[in-house]
Structure 1
Amino acid sequence: MSQKCAIVFEEKPDSVFTDAIQEGINQFNQEQAGDYNYKKLCLSLRDAEQKIVGGLVGETYWECFYIELFWISEPYRKDGYGSTILQMAEDEARSRGVKQVFLNTFSFQASDFYQKYGYRVFGELPNFPPGHKCYFLTKNL
């Protein structure tokens, strides 16, 4: 190596650090695979007092939609909010030219929910967390 560098453990990284890493990855990826066409895709579920009681956080890029976070507070489950939010997110993703959705979920979370709506498991990580599985799912739009 021509220059000496220090490796620092970042226990609580700030946005300067994470933004620098993200920018480096983005630049490299775009050089390799073309423009991301990146956009966040977020839907919130709010109660009568505008308190957030659920929602979906994802992103679209390279004709894919990645669902990063999806949660509905217990009192609002089984009322159709989850399926409505998922459908709205898929519709928005389609309008952005997305062809495929992917996500991961745990065996104690919502793999059955996603499979009910046409998602299929394409991989699993056993014993993560211990005693459970992590499933990777996808769906063509």
Structure 2
Amino acid sequence: MVRIERREFEQVEAFIETIFREQTLDHFEEIREKIEETITLAAYKGEELAGSLVAQRKYDHLYIQYLTVSTAFQGQNIGTQLMETAENLAREMDIVNITLRTRHYQAADFYHKCGYTCYATLEDMPMRGVAMHYFVKRIV
């Protein structure tokens, strides 16, 4: 009989890392050093913060976690400039893919215009009545 218990993540974190390391070694001769960093960009109009982009890099992948532009500055290509800057940085870092997600009422059309492909849509995610769109763009 197996007993299932609810635990804090820290109580199983080392176990999880060991299992994933074993799986990786089964598929690759060696494990590359894990590259992780947060990239934060801020766009200013004069002295005022107008927009921001936050992305997480892991190995050769960049995940755009947040892209925000103040309502007062929308329609002034700030979001486009932030995305272009992130993509240029990704190329410099030899990133292969950039991914992101957005809710149906946010910026799906914008990401299409930026050259991203929607590879999945989940209905009722993260709550009923909301569709979450997942996008990818290959950089190399």
**Shorter-normalised TM range:** 0.7 to 0.9
Alignment of 1:76-115 (within 5 A): 76-115=73-112
Partner of 2:47: 49
1:26–1:54: structure 2 CA closer, same or farther, 3 Å change rule? farther
Structure 2: which 5+ residue stretches go unaligned? 25-30
Secondary structure at the residue paired with 2:81?
Answer: helix
Q: 1:118 aligns with which of 106, 115, 119?
A: 115
1:26–1:102: structure 2 CA closer, same or farther, 3 Å change rule? farther
- Cα offset for 1:27? 6.8
Q: 1:63 aligns with which of 60, 65, 68?
A: 60
Structure 1: which 5+ residue stretches go unaligned? 1-5, 9-16
Partner of 2:38: 40
Quick check: 39-48 or 94-103, which moved more? 39-48
Cα separation, 1, equivalents of 2:39 and 2:103: 22
AA at the equivalent of 1:42? T
TM-score (norm 2): 0.76
TM-score (norm 1): 0.75
Task: Give the number of equivalent residue pairs.
Answer: 129
Aligned-residue sequence identity (percent) comes to 24
1:31–1:44: structure 2 CA closer, same or farther, 3 Å change rule? farther
Cα separation, 1, equivalents of 2:72 and 2:101: 24
1:115–1:26: structure 2 CA closer, same or farther, 3 Å change rule? farther
* Cα-to-partner distance string for 1:24-59 (whole Å, 9 max, x where unaligned): 566765565433211211101234335x33200011
- Cα offset for 1:125? 0.9
